[in-house]
Amino acid sequence: MKKKVAVVTGGAGFLGSHLCDRLLKEGMKVVCVDNLITGSLKNIEHLFGKEDFVFFNYDVTNFIHVPGIVDYILHFASPASPIDYLKLPIQTLKVGSLGTHKALGLAKEKNARFLLASTSEIYGDPEIHPQREEYWGNVNPIGPRGVYDEAKRFGEALTMAYHRAHGVDTRIVRIFNTYGPRMRLNDGRALPAFVSQALKNEDVTVFGDGSQTRSFCYVDDLIEGIFRLLMSEVHEPVNIGNPSEITIERFAEEVIKIIGSKSKIVHKELPQDDPKVRQPDISKAKNLLGWEPKVNREEGLKITIDYFKKELFEN
């Protein structure tokens, strides 16, 4: 039987690289495409030399050509942390619009199944809690975060348009806060910032009063959910995340405690349009995919902290 071929855009990123691992494990050939604007070869160097893995350094906002049969396209290319998309606003908008358009064009040409990596950020600063897929969101389109939020919202609209107008077999995953090995220490997200500060016994910076909430999902759980969605027949968006909600202040305290750090928490001004709450309603994922997260936060944090220790002190 011929091996299935999967194209992963943004495959050298945090989530994309874990996805490449999983698809290879499932016996597929993987074509990883990344221009390394925020991704890193370090995330995929363990895959170089494998006969079923190939990497192209390429910007997917340009026309994408992949020779031969393609069965799956997973579009994960995008700056995904506030520090990145605030620094790269136009690139973020382009990869969410032009990049999604080019990846969908490839899916149409190859008659391939297409999965869009969307985000909980499409809900903005939500007025409904927890967030369910039927909620349309509360996004500031012209605020500094709008470049990411609206790029993803447009990506979803374009994906559904290709599904309805061209019959492309599409999937949309709305990814909530995820953590684990291969996150960048300096990517501006809460977890890497807290861990790197706590490991150095520096002050741990919490924005606002720390009462804002997030729900953190361990990367292996997330990848399992994405794979199940890819293999399902569900075309509508599906939330994948961990519904265990925690305040940012308490999360910082947990990190400090697990590390055994001498760090103290300090507060800085909350960035504009920062969501006050974030928690997925995963009823749809449970009912349609038989999926729910398995790794508890303490267990996932210990694995992630060990990874960051190596990054900080052994490199």
Beta-sheet pairing, 213-215 with 245-247: antiparallel
Q: Which residue has the tokens 């107008």?
A: 165
DSSP states along 1-33: -PPPEEEEETTTSHHHHHHHHHHHHTT-EEEEE
19 burial via Cβ count (<10 Å: 0-12, 13-18, 19+): buried
CA 73 to chain centre: 16
Cα(145)–Cα(142) distance, integer angstroms: 8
Q: For residue 110, give the 3-state DSSP assignment.
A: helix
Catalytic annotation, pick one of 148, 162, 179, 218: 148
Looking at residue 280, the DSSP 8-state letter turns out to be: B
Q: Of 155, 2, 144, 134, whose CA–CA distance to 82 is shortest? A: 144
Looking at residue 3, the DSSP 8-state letter turns out to be: P
Q: Of 313, 43, 40, whose CA–CA distance to 196 is shortest? A: 313
162 is catalytic: no
Q: Which residues are catalytic?
A: 148
